[in-house]
Structure 1
């Protein structure tokens, strides 16, 4: 029936597993819950060992770090059942009928995404950038996500048929943070996999600090450019890449790169401050993308000489 797969890194996952375990028992389904820590060597793993005392549940810690994508692939390879529910260890279950809602929607769809929400109030000023972007950009109800079904999938809180996942998997060639979902969703779109969006959200628990999110955003943009350059995504699949291609065609990339280099310190000061501006965040994203692309092309030019 259902394999619940929870990749972890330095996090107390036991409360999440307890709730999932309780709901699975209440539904009377065949299930397993697999938790895998990616070699964090965290003291929290002593708490996580309690997962092994729950029926049909296991917690293991890897001896060698394999990164988030391969951790997910590894969990999927170990799963016994037909449906895989991917959920990150820092998630919070907010519905007492969370599992039941998924079970009642399994027919006729190969992928089901329930959505994600952020807290109504930002936990602290130091986390406001990630909170704002999640709350006002990423958090969408099912009817809005369904307008672009593949682009709207996040593989935290997604059920996928195991036979379907085995055809795509996460790209283990990418080592940095970000755009795991983009790569996999694009593969699903090529295969025309049936996707259903429903309103069955989890809450995003561990929200990055402003500085942490800036670092992760840079890595994700580097990954995105690599995916595009290696033809692993289409330019029309991601709005940022579509804009980037337009900028290249209109030959204004040099101007944007220079402008970004002049104003990047001012932009970053705002983004890591107490009231980050989302418009500046979008300017930062396209500016950084143009900047790293120009540097890469410049280095290729030097080598070719």
Structure 2
């Protein structure tokens, strides 16, 4: 059942942010919401960005309509911050967005609201602007367009596995049933939440209403982020085992075949040359996949069995 057009919708727009200037996003959303003439609020979740950023965000509230700031006194990470912002939200319809995106369409909010169904999650997808690409950001762009960015038709083939929380609309009722996994930290938390939604039988509706993902990371920074995310994947590998993550599935297969020691050696020998290639002009996604597999294998150490000697009496 879609939103009743005779009922005026209300909307809480929630945006976790950490030391990032997302003013254009906030202004764009505020402008459309005012034009729709709906009750709305925008809550920016400042994830302990520091005094200077706190002053910047607080200043925006005096200049942008219906903008509120939630300041965390500790770094929560995006997942925990999303849960915290839902707790702070005034309205029952909730639009969650990353801070480094911009709506592609002038009817972004309207198109989302027209697709809303009770007890469901609506995902609009995301794209990249080729005009934003610089030579030092090619890896993030190539990974985005070749691996992550998909049409609604493609995402709908495997709706839970395709879930990415960069842009989604849902209702408070959904968060009454599930929440973003607070134990996960940063890295593969979207895969975990998608699996939680699947287990809870919460429908995911994929539509073509994309945001443009800003290319803020250089290739070197993206590799560093990737390693932190793989660290988190390895840390939570038991929890994430059933979440259909290709990298983890491949790693577990290599582990069963007992060739992770060879892959650890491969990491030592080849990671520097792979990084030079991936930061170059034609980064290969095959090389990037191998890079992640070698790295997660480098984290794995086989524990030797403890031998207990029987005492003779």
Return the TM-score normalized by structure 2: 0.87
Structure 1 residues 304 and 69: alpha-carbon distance in aligned structure 2, compared to 1, 3 A threshold: farther
Partners of 2:162 and 2:116 in 1: CA distance: 19
Which of 166, 171, 179 is matched with 1:169 structurally?
Answer: 179
Which of 7, 13, 16 is matched with 1:4 structurally?
Answer: 13
Query: Partner residue of 2:87?
Result: 77
- Give the CA deviation at 1:289: 1.3
What does 1:1-305 correspond to in 2, within 5 Å?
1-41=10-50, 43-48=52-57, 49-108=59-118, 110-121=120-131, 123-175=133-185, 177-229=186-238, 231=239, 233-235=240-242, 237-294=244-301, 297-298=302-303, 301=304
- Give the CA deviation at 1:29: 2.3
Partners of 1:149 and 1:252 in 2: CA distance: 33
Partners of 2:127 and 2:51 in 1: CA distance: 27
Structure 1 residues 236 and 22: alpha-carbon distance in aligned structure 2, compared to 1, 3 A threshold: closer
Structure 1 residues 302 and 222: alpha-carbon distance in aligned structure 2, compared to 1, 3 A threshold: farther
Return the TM-score normalized by structure 1: 0.90
Size of the aligned set, in residue pairs, is 298
Partners of 1:184 and 1:104 in 2: CA distance: 24
Q: SS where residue 208 of structure 1 aligns? A: coil
The alignment yields a C-alpha RMSD, in angstroms, of: 2.2
Q: SS where residue 16 of structure 2 aligns? A: strand
Structure 1: which 5+ residue stretches go unaligned?
Answer: none
Deviates more, 1:265-274 or 1:79-88: 265-274
Query: Partner residue of 2:6?
Result: none
Higher fraction of helix: 1
Deviates more, 1:53-62 or 1:244-253: 53-62
Structure 1 residues 88 and 157: alpha-carbon distance in aligned structure 2, compared to 1, 3 A threshold: same
